[in-house]
Chains A and B, each alone.
Chain A
């Protein structure tokens, strides 16, 4: 073909693509919360006031824990750095009011996903980061084998939680009376249980393990095998008026599960992302597809999470597993390994 005709054809094709490209480009993700976070340059994350395993400050004053890791992953995905966060510690009494009022962007505070919170409190429940059940911790010397033996006993509980409701239901169903003593803060409840004011302490499985680690003689305490209230899925909460934000929080959790499924850890992330051939790994590292932009962030969001935070298994082991409170993976393993943590397909 003659050079001028070639150039004209190329220009026409480029122009044609240029005109039709906007039709393929994504409509920008509309999310007031995401826009506010980007504008502020900082994520405001609601966490617990200080409980081993979920959210606690180490000797240097840095926040560590499972919930904290999720906050950092979210900040990393949106803003590119896991440290651009403001942590707001919330008590069990005020956590949902603080979220509903807009003071925090997301609540990741070992809170149970329940019907009432989804409907009456108008909150969305994006992801479950810890499956557990309400467990009772009593002194070994009391020799309690079954929960019904606790008839007449006094148990320390935190106020404003589903724990009270579960005990009330259990009492009614079994016609016994387990008395409760309500505390505002976990430290006060732990101190009362340790001093003997109550016969035991009850909370979700993770918090009870955390409580035992703070007792004067942890070996004196044992967990009653029977749990009440059924399965207790703990996870993040967002406001119901921002579905795009809820989606983003949900997929940050799934990104951490996908990293574990693909075998990507914090240590090998850089190496695995160098020249991947596996299409799943390529999609994870943003080399193929538009996953980030469809969520409102850039395409390296999941790669950053894997490099800076790690995958779900790593975070779990460091906080609740061998590096932390010593609980087995159990229900919190991936579904392919026999646990309850599943995720949709990554394409």
Chain B
């Protein structure tokens, strides 16, 4: 039987399309009228203007007076940094807590339960501000910094690491870094004798690190100079607080996903593994987890997207990411609300679509094929 929509259904579809188009047209013309009333128009030319403000923490180089377009890139890099760090930390912590939740030990199991319930049921913004104030209240000022071995410093202004200065070899370092990232991926599958190169490819990044170490010009140690610590790399407490807030919140949800995936693995698998004489830890690592980890990729995707979007809460703790700098300072200085919010949403949309596309591809690759 071929199902053909009736003429009435077709008409309904066309009417709905017309209604949606009319609503869209109304919104666009109203916005246009409001803009005309304020003597401005929609356009992205303002991105070339110079930004007269400072960005406190930046991965890419930033100087006062660089264009708004460059500010957009700098802030996107900040957002991506904290999102990537949080996704990694949340996944690891969530995996551990999720497995703890299924332990036979009463204390371990309930610690995990209290952690999950406490974190899941309190607002995320409150948690991030809590980490920020907790960090701020407990650390000493720059003049009484906690000195750690190898020249690391910890104080209220941040965590300072000694930085490696490569001098004139800067360009070579970028090539080495690209090699360290791409070479293992390419070398993994190359056939070697009767198998593949496989895990031996991980020796290549190590080689790259050794080569990089020889190119170091000198090490810059963080030292107290005047008001602040100068030299070295500073990890600001805003970044740490935001990273802690995002990771712990995400970990609570990921723990529940892990728990449900492990329980979804057929009970017969565990019984069969135990009857073969495997120890419980081996059962978990060799039989249960490999199957469970494959099943949890789709719900994990939603959690990762949530973490990326929640990075905009960094505005509450003065972390200079997209929302705070672009939809705050740039919006106020240029007066272009529609364009900045539109750009902000477009960037988040692109980042999230790329993330979910990658996760879907990964899911397709590792999904269990059932008969």
Residues of chain A at the chain B interface (Cβ within 8 Å): 92-93, 96-97, 100-101, 116, 120-122, 142, 150-154, 159-161, 164-165, 167-169, 171-172, 179-184, 188, 191-192, 195-197, 199, 241
Closest chain A CB from B65 CB (angstroms): 8
Of the candidates B64, B315, B318, B325, the one having the most CB atoms from chain A within 10 angstroms of its own CB is: B318
- The answer on a CB contact under 8 Å between B64 and A159 is no
- The answer on a CB contact under 8 Å between B56 and A160 is no
- The answer on a CB contact under 8 Å between B329 and A182 is yes
Given A164-B54, A195-B137, A196-B156, do A182 and B335 touch, yes or no (CB 8 Å)? no
- The answer on a CB contact under 8 Å between A183 and B318 is yes
Give the A-B pair count, Cβ closer than 8 A.
106
Ranked 5 nearest A-B pairs via Cβ: A160-B332, A153-B227, A159-B328, A195-B136, A164-B53
B101 at the interface (CB under 8 A from A): no
Tell me the B314-343 residues at the A interface (CB within 8 Å).
Answer: 315-318, 320, 324-325, 327-329, 331-335, 337
Q: How far is the CA of A305 from the CA of B141 in the complex (A)?
A: 51
B245 at the interface (CB under 8 A from A): no
Closest chain A CB from B55 CB (angstroms): 9
Closest to A180 in B: B54
Q: How far is the CA of A324 from the CA of B340 in the complex (A)?
A: 40
When distances are taken between beta carbons in the complex, the residues of chain B under 8 Å from A151 are: 226
When distances are taken between beta carbons in the complex, the residues of chain A under 8 Å from B34 are: 101
Q: How far is the CA of A309 from the CA of B334 in the complex (A)?
A: 37
Q: How far is the CA of A96 from the CA of B230 in the complex (A)?
A: 38
When distances are taken between beta carbons in the complex, the residues of chain A under 8 Å from B133 are: 191, 195
- The answer on a CB contact under 8 Å between B225 and A168 is no
When distances are taken between beta carbons in the complex, the residues of chain B under 8 Å from A152 are: 225-228, 230
B237 at the interface (CB under 8 A from A): yes
- The answer on a CB contact under 8 Å between B227 and A165 is no
Q: How far is the CA of A191 from the CA of B333 in the complex (A)?
A: 26
- The answer on a CB contact under 8 Å between A184 and B315 is yes
B110 at the interface (CB under 8 A from A): no
When distances are taken between beta carbons in the complex, the residues of chain A under 8 Å from B334 are: 120
B37 at the interface (CB under 8 A from A): yes
Q: How far is the CA of A197 from the CA of B226 in the complex (A)?
A: 15
Q: How far is the CA of A195 from the CA of B140 in the complex (A)?
A: 9
B282 at the interface (CB under 8 A from A): no
Q: Can you report 6 A-B residue pairs in the complex whose CB atoms are below 8 A from each other? A: A154-B227, A160-B329, A164-B329, A182-B329, A191-B136, A192-B318
- The answer on a CB contact under 8 Å between A153 and B228 is yes
- The answer on a CB contact under 8 Å between B53 and A165 is yes
- The answer on a CB contact under 8 Å between B332 and A96 is yes
Q: How far is the CA of A172 from the CA of B66 in the complex (A)?
A: 13
Closest chain A CB from B63 CB (angstroms): 10
Closest to B141 in A: A196
Of the candidates A93, A116, A197, the one having the most CB atoms from chain B within 10 angstroms of its own CB is: A197
B200 at the interface (CB under 8 A from A): no
Q: A164-B329, A182-B324, A197-B136 are in contact. List 14 more A-B contacts (CB 8 A).
A: A97-B337, A100-B38, A101-B34, A120-B335, A152-B225, A152-B227, A160-B329, A164-B54, A165-B52, A165-B53, A168-B54, A172-B65, A181-B318, A182-B318
Q: How far is the CA of A152 from the CA of B156 in the complex (A)?
A: 16
- The answer on a CB contact under 8 Å between A154 and B157 is yes
When distances are taken between beta carbons in the complex, the residues of chain A under 8 Å from B327 are: 93
Closest chain A CB from B82 CB (angstroms): 16
When distances are taken between beta carbons in the complex, the residues of chain B under 8 Å from A181 are: 56, 238, 318
Q: Which of A168, A179, A184, A199 contacts B316 (CB 8 A)?
A: A184
Given A179-B54, A184-B316, do A199 and B332 touch, yes or no (CB 8 Å)? no
B169 at the interface (CB under 8 A from A): no
- The answer on a CB contact under 8 Å between B332 and A188 is no
When distances are taken between beta carbons in the complex, the residues of chain A under 8 Å from B141 are: 196
Closest chain A CB from B78 CB (angstroms): 13
- The answer on a CB contact under 8 Å between A197 and B328 is no
When distances are taken between beta carbons in the complex, the residues of chain A under 8 Å from B230 are: 152
Q: How far is the CA of A159 from the CA of B315 in the complex (A)?
A: 10
B365 at the interface (CB under 8 A from A): no
Q: How far is the CA of A275 from the CA of B30 in the complex (A)?
A: 55
B8 at the interface (CB under 8 A from A): no
- The answer on a CB contact under 8 Å between B318 and A199 is no
B39 at the interface (CB under 8 A from A): yes
When distances are taken between beta carbons in the complex, the residues of chain A under 8 Å from B64 are: 168, 171-172
B40 at the interface (CB under 8 A from A): yes
Tell me the B211-257 residues at the A interface (CB within 8 Å).
Answer: 225-228, 230, 237-238
Closest chain A CB from B34 CB (angstroms): 8
Closest chain B CB from A280 CB (angstroms): 40
When distances are taken between beta carbons in the complex, the residues of chain A under 8 Å from B157 are: 154, 197
When distances are taken between beta carbons in the complex, the residues of chain B under 8 Å from A161 are: 332
When distances are taken between beta carbons in the complex, the residues of chain A under 8 Å from B225 are: 152
Q: How far is the CA of A120 from the CA of B328 in the complex (A)?
A: 17
Given A159-B324, A197-B156, do A150 and B227 touch, yes or no (CB 8 Å)? yes
When distances are taken between beta carbons in the complex, the residues of chain B under 8 Å from A188 are: 316-318
Q: How far is the CA of A168 from the CA of B327 in the complex (A)?
A: 19
- The answer on a CB contact under 8 Å between A122 and B56 is no
Closest to A156 in B: B318
Q: How far is the CA of A161 from the CA of B318 in the complex (A)?
A: 15
Q: How far is the CA of A116 from the CA of B52 in the complex (A)?
A: 13
Q: How far is the CA of A177 from the CA of B319 in the complex (A)?
A: 19
